[in-house]
Amino acid sequence: MRVSVHLHGILRERLPSAARGRTTLELPESATVGDLLATLGIERRVIVAVNGRTHIPASHTLQEDDQVVIYMPVGGG
Amino acid sequence: MPHGYHGRVLHVNLTSGELSIEQPEEKFYRKYMGGSAMALIYLLRDMPAGVDPLSPENILALFLSVITGAPISGQSRMTAAAKSPLTGCIGDSQCGGFFPAEMKFAGFDGIVIKGRAAKPVYLWLHDGQAELRDATHLWGHVTGEVQEMLRYELGDDRIEVLQVGPAGEKGVRFAALINMCSRANGRTGMGAVMGSKNLKAVVVRGNQRPSIADPATLKALARWGVTQLPQSDIAGLSKYGTSEVIGLNNADGGLPTRNYTSGVFEHYEKINGPTLYETLLRGATQGQQDRMGRDTCYACAVRCKRVVEQTSGTYILDPTYGGPEYESLATLGSYCGVHDLAALCKANENCNRYGLDTISCGATIAWAMECFENGLLTKEDTGGLDLHFGNAETVVKLTEMIGRREGFGDLLAEGSARAAQRLGRGSERFLITSKDQEAPAHMPQVKRTLAVIYAANPFGADHQSHEHDPAYAPYPERMAQIGLHDPQPPLTLNAEMVRFALVTQHAYSALDSLNVCQFVYGPAWHLYSMNQLTEVVRAVTGWDVSLYEIMKVGERRLNMLRAFNAREGIGRERDTLPERFFTQPLKGGPSDGYVLDREEWQRAMDTYYAMAGWDVQSGTPTRPTLEALGLGWVADLLGL
């Protein structure tokens, strides 16, 4: 299944700079958020939003065409 | 001899011109450690209640801490405290840069300023010496000009200058203190207080570096930070600056847009950190922005500060004035519906040039824009300016007009709450203020404990006074250091989240007492943990200090700030939030429909006061609470 992924902040550097943090990934059926993070090699503490719902847990099973946004829990500024 | 500090506090009476040096005992430093914990001793003890904040009777206190100037990241910060002309409550604000460390090297731990000079003066501190000098020739000049004039006059390019711009001279109620032309004690109008005293600048230079008790341990801690930085959770802040937070908050549905009516900005990518990095950072066109466009504070490896430059186009950008932080981009940007990044950099430059708090400035313009959109303000009121949301040219123009108190800018220079009072016409319903201070760009509708801290914070709505909700769960080891073990689901505002708010408020209050950077040290995503901060204080001072002791300093400061307000007759009745937060659901994005529940918030506030040891009805610290913190003398002052 294919999911679209948008990485924010320093996480963008997982992808080529021309991608500007956006990519589409092919994942096995019943892949979870945790599987997606492992595929991207993200070991940092992150917040994941799926289809506009924030704070989705790593155990959540993804669906075809899901839109996933990943960002850091950094506050302040 | 003490380690880390001098044991010297300068007292300045501007009315008489008298300068004197106090040498407090070690207990003073150990019990209060620095910042407004120290400043409030003088404000509570030496200033009567009820003074006009812009009168000579107000006291402006500038304090470093026992570790300011030590060779490690994140320690070069200084607190300014006085009664605020914006809120009528205690005013409190921190700055970074090189000024704080240089002030320590000039031989002083703090400065207590009273009275008003008969004509403009500046204070020149150098190698333990202090003198007042004529500043008539500096008055009316913008910050960049004044810095150059002082460098020439004193024959030294390495002086550091803390100054008020024209905004502070003219009593703009959210005027800032500016150093390096790009760092600000931004909030609560400390620039207006210094301007009202005819004190144009404090200039520092020196080589009196206090000794470090354990240099080897401090060096090891400093090296650890440098090594860990690339893998740390502030790596993004390091590369992209705080403007990285534009994208993070927008993803969370928490980027205030069009005066807090939405938490998502459709144009956020045009104003976020990576875009700034790739386009307007100095050196970006040659790929040299890491070397040329990132600046730092004294001895800090993080280098999160921005420097922008543009030599052609509509907006010429002068690198002298640095570059925008997250809060500046959000309040002047999405808060006002503006997505022209060069215009926002220019508006930020104007704030630094005239000496304005970008947060109150942007949010006050956003309030005026919503009034204009709803017909409460017209072009007749604004002198022909079009104030529709999204008008970048207007935002840039207004930053100048406010800084000079010109035309319509004179009304906005009062801050949005007073401006609404003057305007009438029902315009107060568009205010986004707590204690008359404009709310920063972190949304209580999305991070619920902000609803408690924005309301209860003694110096008005502030986003740097506790940890934000999303950081509770991901950092269990660090949270456990301060006794927090039970993160709650998002959007929860129960007793445990109130406890999280209060305990982390004590932690952040300790950070502000020690005057350390809240990106470099803290209880969650920060480079160093609270335990490591304790190690730093031990290494610098040689004291056998504990984290318990440091947390108590934070709690002590918070109670002193709150006690100042109580003495002014200010209590729970001013711990309010904008009505919109309870009545108008956010529109669009992940936070669509989010609104605060008033009853839940009131219960949380009751719980907060009770946990803090304050009277639940009045919100005032009780005598037992003050005495438990060694503040019986404050209870006496309050007549408790």
Task: Report d(CA B101, CA B107) in Å as an integer.
Answer: 10
Beta strands B110-114 and B9-13 are parallel
Task: Report d(CA B559, CA B568) in Å as an integer.
Answer: 14
DSSP A32-57: BHHHHHHHHT--S--EEEETTB-S--
Smallest CA–CA distance from B474 into chain A, residue: A45
Q: If pLDDT is split at 50, 70 and 90, which confidence band does B501 have?
A: very high
Average pLDDT over chain A, rounded to whole? 94
Tell me whether residues A49 and B251 touch, CB distance under 8 A. Answer: yes
pLDDT digits (tens, 9 = 90+) for B174-226: 999 999 999 999 999 999 999 999 999 999 999 999 999 999 999 999 999 99
Report which DSSP code applies to B188.
G
CATH code assigned to B241-438: 1.10.569.10
Which of B251, B463, B525 is the closest to A8 by Cβ? Answer: B251
Report which DSSP code applies to B58.
S
A57 has a chain B CB within 8 A of its CB:
no
Tell me whether residues B252 and A74 touch, CB distance under 8 A. Answer: no
Query: Which one, of B550, B254, B229, B174, lies nearest residue A76 by Cα?
Result: B254
Beta strands B183-185 and A22-26 are unpaired
Whether residue A76 has pLDDT greater than 80: no
Tell me whether residues A54 and B252 touch, CB distance under 8 A. Answer: yes
CATH topology of domain B9-205: Aldehyde Ferredoxin Oxidoreductase;  A, domain 1 (3.60.9)
pLDDT at B317: 98
A20 has a chain B CB within 8 A of its CB:
yes
Query: Which one, of B456, B242, B256, B245, lies nearest residue B365 by Cα?
Result: B256
Q: Packing angle between helix B358-373 and helix B392-404, nearest 10 degrees? A: 120
Report which DSSP code applies to B622.
P
Task: Report d(CA B493, CA B454) in Å as an integer.
Answer: 14
Smallest CA–CA distance from A72 into chain B, residue: B248
pLDDT at A68: 98
Task: Report d(CA B159, CA B97) in Å as an integer.
Answer: 12
Whether residue B347 has pLDDT greater than 80: yes
Number of Cβ atoms within 10 Å of the Cβ of A28: 9
Q: Which of residues 23-42 of A touch B (CB under 8 A)?
A: none
E runs forming strands in B115-211:
121-126, 129-134, 160-163, 177-179, 183-185, 199-205
Task: Report d(CA B257, CA B23) in Å as an integer.
Answer: 49
pLDDT digits (tens, 9 = 90+) for B386-427: 999 999 999 999 999 999 999 999 999 999 999 999 999 999
Tell me whether residues B274 and A12 touch, CB distance under 8 A. Answer: yes
pLDDT at A10: 92
pLDDT digits (tens, 9 = 90+) for B523-557: 999 999 999 999 999 999 999 999 999 999 999 99
Q: Where do you find CATH 1.10.599.10 in chain B?
A: 449-576+597-638
Which of B244, B442, B489 is the closest to A9 by Cβ? Answer: B244
Task: Report d(CA B434, CA B84) in Å as an integer.
Answer: 14
Give pTM, 2 decimals.
0.98
Smallest CA–CA distance from A50 into chain B, residue: B590
Architecture of domain A2-71: Roll (3.10)
pLDDT at A44: 83
Q: Where do you find CATH 3.60.9.10 in chain B?
A: 9-205
Provide the ipTM.
0.95
Q: Where do you find CATH 1.10.569.10 in chain B?
A: 241-438
pLDDT at B221: 98
Which of B239, B325, B447 is the closest to A77 by Cβ? Answer: B325
CATH code assigned to B449-576+597-638: 1.10.599.10
Q: If pLDDT is split at 50, 70 and 90, which confidence band does A17 have?
A: confident
pLDDT at B468: 97
* DSSP tally for chain A: helices H, then strands E: 1, 4
pLDDT digits (tens, 9 = 90+) for B594-616: 999 999 999 999 999 999 999 99
Task: Report d(CA B278, CA B285) in Å as an integer.
Answer: 8
Residue B75 CA, chain-centre distance (Å), reads 15
Task: Report d(CA B633, CA B623) in Å as an integer.
Answer: 10
Which of B269, B475, B518 is the closest to A76 by Cβ? Answer: B518
pLDDT digits (tens, 9 = 90+) for A32-58: 999 999 999 998 899 999 999 999 999
Task: Report d(CA B117, CA A38) in Å as an integer.
Answer: 64
pLDDT at B301: 98
Q: If pLDDT is split at 50, 70 and 90, which confidence band does A74 have?
A: confident
Residues of B with Cβ-Cβ distance to A6 under 8 angstroms: 251
pLDDT at B380: 98
Distance from CA of B130 to the nearest CA of A (A): 35
Which of B237, B253, B274 is the closest to A54 by Cβ? Answer: B253
Mean pLDDT (whole number) for B578-592: 98
Smallest CA–CA distance from B446 into chain A, residue: A54
Q: Would you say A47 and A55 are in contact if contact means Cβ atoms under 8 Å apart? A: yes
Average pLDDT over chain B, rounded to whole? 98
pLDDT at B487: 98
Q: Would you say B81 and B19 are in contact if contact means Cβ atoms under 8 Å apart? A: no
pLDDT digits (tens, 9 = 90+) for B361-376: 999 999 999 999 999 9
Mean pLDDT (whole number) for B260-276: 97
DSSP B269-338: GGSSHHHHHHHTBTTGGGT-HHHHSEE--TT-S---EE-B-BSSSSS-B-GGG----HHHHHHHTGGGT-
pLDDT digits (tens, 9 = 90+) for B86-136: 999 999 999 999 999 999 999 999 999 999 999 999 999 999 999 999 999
Query: Which one, of B438, B608, B352, lies nearest residue B84 by Cα?
Result: B438
